[in-house]
Amino acid sequence: MIDLDVQRLTISEASGLIRYGQLSPSELLEGLIKRIDRLEPVLRAWVTVDREGARARAEELTREAEEGSFRGPLHGIPVGVKDIYHTAGLRTTMGSPIFRDFVPTQDADTVAKLKGAGAIILGKTETTEFALSDPAPTRNPWSPEHTPGGSSSGSAAAVSSGMCPTALGTQTGGSVIRPASFCGVVGVKPTYDLVNRRGVYPLSWSLDHVGFFTRTVEDAGVVLGAIAGGRAAPTEASFDERTAPKLGILGGYFKEKAEEGVWEGFGNAVERLGDAGAELLEVKLPEVFRVVHAAHRLIMASEAASVHGELFRERRAEYRVGIRGLVSSGLLVPAHAYVNALRIRGMFIQEARAMLKGVDSLLTPSAPTAAPLGLESTGDPSFNAPWSLCGFPVITVPSGLNRDGLPLGVQLTGLPFQETRLLGVAAWCEHVLGFEKGPHNPT
C-alpha cells in the first residue's frame, strides 16, 4: 500500500486506488478502525462497530479485487448506518433502551443495496431516540462541546471526523441537512419515495426520508446511484462545473429567523456564487408558508402516535421526554385536523413547484444557527422541515465558517425526482465555494 492518510480519502479517491491495486479494502478498513479507536472515546459516534463482520467482508472484497472483479465504485468502501436501519445479525437499537437487545434477521432495503454494490457495513451510528429530538451522546468533531445536530448525529460526526467516507441517515424534519451543516459535510435528502424505506424504523410514514452524508457532491452521486435502484440515479455528467445555474434566493422567514452570523455567511456565499456567474433571483414565499410548520408538526405527531401505539401504551415510562411528548400529543389529534394538515401539504407542494419555476434550485441557509453549544438540544430544524413536508429533494453544501470557527452550509432545493439536476447545481456551488477545511482532531 502506498503511504496514505485514509481518513481523508473520498469515496471516489479510495475507489480508484482499490481498482488500480494501490489500496485494498482490508487496508482501508484497518486505517478507518484505527481512526475510530482514536476518536470514539471523545466523539461517541457509534453504537456498534462491527470489527469482526467488517473484516471478514473486507477480506472477501479484497480477494475479488485481486481477481479483477469489482462490483462498482462502492467496492470495498466502509459505510456507517444509522441505528434505525435493520441490519441482519447486527444489533439495531433505535436509540432506545426498549430495543437495546434487538437483532434483526433481515437487512433494510438500502443496506442490502449497499452490500450488493460492494460496500462494507462498518457499524451502527448513534441516533436520537426513535429519530426525534432526545439527544444522542455524540459530539461535534469541530468542537466537542457543541452538538453535531440530530437525529442522524453519529452518521454526520463519523463522516466529518474521517471515521468513514459515507453514512446513512434519515430525515423527517431536518435530521440529515442540519447535522450535515453543523458538521461541515455534504448531506442529501432525496425526493420522498425515491429510495425504499423498507426496514427503517418509522417516525412518520409520510414524512420519513432515507438520506446520507458524504464529504463531496461527487461522492453523493455515487451513493445515490447505489441506493436509488436506478431511479433518477445521477451519472458523472451531472457534475458540470462549467454551467452557472439560476438560483432562487429565499429571504423572508429565512432571513428573519437566521442568526446574524448565519445570514452574514449566507450573504457572502451568495455574493461569491453571483460573482462566479450564477443568476440570482429573489423568490417570495407563498402565503401558505405561514402554516407549513404547524402542518408538519401535526402530521408528524399523528403518525408517530400511530407508529408507537401499542408499544407506547405498554412501555410509556421507558420513553424519553421528547418522543413521549410527541406521541402523547399525537394521540389527541382529531381526524379532521390531520386531514386539514394534509390539505395544507398539498397546497404547499403546488406553491413549491411554482417557486421553482424558472430557477434550477432554491437557496437558503441550511440552518438558522451554527451548531449550538451544549448537548441538550440538536438544534433547530425549521429551515429543513418545509422540504420534508413537501418531499422535494434537498442537498446541503458546506459554505464556510462563522466567526467562532464552526461550519455553515447552504441548502439547495430542487424539483421532485430531479436529483441529477440538483446534484449538478450543488457540484457547481461546491466548486465555487471551495470549502476544503476539516475539523481539528478533538483528541
Instruction: List, by residue number, the catalytic residues.
Output: 82, 151, 175
Beta strand 407-413 with 394-401 is antiparallel
> Please, what is the Cα angle at 441 between 435 and 443, to 5 degrees?
165
**Residues 183, 379: contact at Cβ < 8 Å?**
no
Q: Could you report how far apart the first and last alpha carbons of the chain are, in Å?
A: 27
Chain centroid to CA 387: how far?
Answer: 13
CB 227 within 8 A of CB 114: yes
Which residues are CB-contacts of 34 (< 8 A; sequence separation ≥ 6)? Answer: none
- The three-state (H, E, C) secondary structure of the chain, written as one string: CCCCCHHHCCHHHHHHHHHCCCCCHHHHHHHHHHHHHHHHHHHCCEEEECHHHHHHHHHHHHHHHHCCCCCCCCCCCEEEEECCECECCECCCCCCHHHCCCCCCCCCHHHHHHHHCCCEEEEEECCCHHHCCCCCCCCECCECCECCCCCCHHHHHHHHCCCCCEEEEEECCCCCHHHHHHHCCEEEECCCCCCCCCCECCCCCCCCEEEEEECCHHHHHHHHHHHCCCCCCCCHHHCCCCCCCEEEEECCHHHHHCCHHHHHHHHHHHHHHHHCCCEEEEECCCHHHHHHHHHHHHHHHHHHHHHHHHHHHHHHHHCCHHHHHHHHHHCCCCHHHHHHHHHHHHHHHHHHHHHCCCCCEEEEECCCCCCCEECCCCCCCCCCHHHHHHCCCEEEEEEEECCCCCEEEEEEECCCCCHHHHHHHHHHHHHHHCCCCCCCCCC
